[in-house]
């Protein structure tokens, strides 16, 4: 969600005077740091849930003392313990069972008047309509879609892949019932007795924003999306990525040319010595 922090999430935080925040899935802590900087400036608190964060959580707790705490567990273990937050960012295990039950946990703690703003990542392809599992054993068997392993144990070892951060298993099929993140969101809305409103941005793997019915907030978020010209932003993002890659290729070519020149000089010296 870090790619939409400044343009989408931060303005909503400010508009809603968000103070108490929960984050499911911190990964490298990039967006965690964004949120904590906001908390420092606005007297907020962040609770993160991540079984194996890829950053020094202890250092964060010291740097943002009084504003940060972390549960190093699966979301469905810690989330039921939390309540009273204004906003939650859901970016953990990308499958129907986990997301649906995360939303049900949230629903059990709130009502129509205090339901938090919920940001959900990976609501578009490839996980919007297809489950991914970090560890299938975490999912009850009756809720597992038939899955395949997408990366071998040998490749994991060679690439030093962290299985808690890279989904190793995916459902064989997509667009079937109880399959994928967006399906979980839609099923939750259908089953929930609350009157909720949903925004959907099919960018950066899909961003969904869910909140209790509030026409003013709904129009504000839609205005942010329109004013930011999201598609132009995405286009610029990928063009910059392409240019960065081209610059890197040029640098590698120059390095190779320099190495080739050095090798050529060494060969000449070797020939001179041999002769």
pLDDT tens over the chain, length 275 residues:
888 999 999 999 999 999 999 999 999 999 999 999 999 999 999 999 999 999 999 999 999 999 999 999 999 999 999 999 999 999 999 999 999 999 999 999 999 999 999 999 999 998 999 999 989 999 999 999 999 987 655 555 554 544 444 567 999 999 999 999 999 999 999 999 999 999 999 888 899 999 999 999 999 999 998 887 666 666 666 666 666 677 677 777 777 788 877 877 777 777 777 66
| Bridge partners for 94 per DSSP | none
Q: Record the pTM.
A: 0.82
Other Cβ atoms within 10 Å of 178 Cβ, number:
16
Instruction: Give the Cα separation of 122 and 27 in Å (integer).
Output: 14
Find out whether 46 and 23 touch, Cβ atoms under 8 Å.
yes
What angle (nearest 5°) sits at the alpha carbon of residue 161, between those of residues 155 and 165? 135
Which DSSP helix (H) or strand (E) runs through 24? Answer: strand 20-24
Please answer whether residues 4 and 208 qualify as being in contact, where contact means their C-beta atoms are separated by less than 8 angstroms.
no
Q: Rounded CA gap, 19 and 86, in Å?
A: 7
Question: How deeply is 86 buried, as exposed, middle or buried, from its count of CB atoms within 10 A (0-12, 13-18, 19+)?
Answer: middle
């Amino acid at each position: 969600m870090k790619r939409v922090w400044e343009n989408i999430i931060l303005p909503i935080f400010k508009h809603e005077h968000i103070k108490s925040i929960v984050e499911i899935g911190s990964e490298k802590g990039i967006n965690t740091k964004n949120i904590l900087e906001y908390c420092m400036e606005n007297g907020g608190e962040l609770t993160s849930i991540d079984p194996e964060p890829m950053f020094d959580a202890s250092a964060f707790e010291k740097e943002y003392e009084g504003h940060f705490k972390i549960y190093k567990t699966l979301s469905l273990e810690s989330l039921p313990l939390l309540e009273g937050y204004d906003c939650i960012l859901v970016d953990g295990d990308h499958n129907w069972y986990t997301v649906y039950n995360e939303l049900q946990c949230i629903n059990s703690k709130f009502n129509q008047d205090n339901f938090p703003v919920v940001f959900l990542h990976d609501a578009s392809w490839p996980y919007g309509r297809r489950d991914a599992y970090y560890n299938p054993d975490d999912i009850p068997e009756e809720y597992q879609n038939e899955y395949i392993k997408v990366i071998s144990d040998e490749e994991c070892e060679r690439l030093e892949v962290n299985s808690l951060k890279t989904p190793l298993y995916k459902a064989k099929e997509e667009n079937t019932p109880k399959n994928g993140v967006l399906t979980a969101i839609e099923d939750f809305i259908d089953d929930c007795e609350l009157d909720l409103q949903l925004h959907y941005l099919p960018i950066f793997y899909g961003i969904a924003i869910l909140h209790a019915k509030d026409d003013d907030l709904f129009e504000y978020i839609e205005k942010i999306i329109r004013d930011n010209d999201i598609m132009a932003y995405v286009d610029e993002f990928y063009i910059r990525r392409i240019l960065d890659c081209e610059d890197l290729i040029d640098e590698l070519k120059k390095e190779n040319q320099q190495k080739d020149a050095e090798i050529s000089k060494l060969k000449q010296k070797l020939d001179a010595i041999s002769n």
